[in-house]
Amino acid sequence: MSDDPPTAPGDAAPSDALAAGATSETDDGLHRPPAALLIGLVVILTALVAIGGVLIYQRSTVPGAGSVDVGFMQDMTTHHQQALEMASVAAEKASDPDVRSFAREILTFQSYENGYMEALLEDWGQWPYPQDRTAMTWMGMSSTPSEMPGMQPESAIDAMQEATGLDVDARFIKMMIDHHRGGIHMATYAAEHASDPRVRSLAQRMVTQQGGEIADFQRAAARLGIPLT
């Protein structure tokens, strides 16, 4: 608070009036806005122009077919679909409650991630995509989708569906560790080379999440006496 005594409106000096937001009178008798207001308008207009430029830039740099961003999300969507298939079996049939809980977590996290990736791909005009495509070209290691890192043979998944008791847990843990390691390999590359920050962030989150789940599986295997070699 100022120590200066208050003044009546009529006693205010011209500079005080300008500071209060009044207009100043020029030699031609016109009232014009104070300099602070003009500066504020310039700042706002500059910000709007900058935002518009960013939006135009983002529109013009949407990742296209063959990019790391698109290739990673298409291939990881397929990768996640197999994880969801295995987790659905384990969530129902695994004998250990912790293993069933791990399976439900995979169903939750990877279902969400698939929805997010599909939405981005659709926004970029890259969804749906052919299931018989050549995968992994974005990493320079072309393969079929079923031969991507960590993908499990369908016969192994069928065997898990037919298994009972602790055998279900053992098969699920072993396959998911291998599956996650392949996913981490893919996601690590995307986190370093994708152009869109959302894709890089998603990929890094997968690396962290799946790394933590591998540690959970290893501890569960040790507790249940399941050999991993």
Q: pLDDT digit string (tens) for 38-85?
A: 555 544 554 444 444 434 434 458 999 999 999 999 999 999 999 999
DSSP H stretches of helix in the chain: 14-19, 35-60, 68-93, 97-123, 154-162, 166-193, 197-224
Residue 47 located in a structural domain: no
Residue 49 located in a structural domain: no
Residue 109 located in a structural domain: yes
Residue 26 located in a structural domain: no
* Least trusted range by pLDDT, from 25-34, 63-72, 141-150, 189-198: 25-34
Total count of domains within the chain: 1
What CATH number has the domain bearing residue 191?
Answer: 1.20.1260.10
Report which of 96, 71, 89 is spatially closest to residue 176, judged by C-alpha positions.
89
Residue 2 located in a structural domain: no
Residue 196 located in a structural domain: yes
Q: What is the pLDDT of residue 131?
A: 87
Prediction pTM value: 0.74
How far apart CA 90 and CA 93 sit, in angstroms, is 5
Print the domain residue range for 109: 65-224
Residue 170 located in a structural domain: yes
Residue 98 located in a structural domain: yes
For the packed helices 197-224 and 68-93, what is the interaxial angle rounded to 10 degrees? 30
* For residue 26, pLDDT beyond 70: no
Is there a contact between 148 and 182 (Cβ–Cβ < 8 Å)? yes
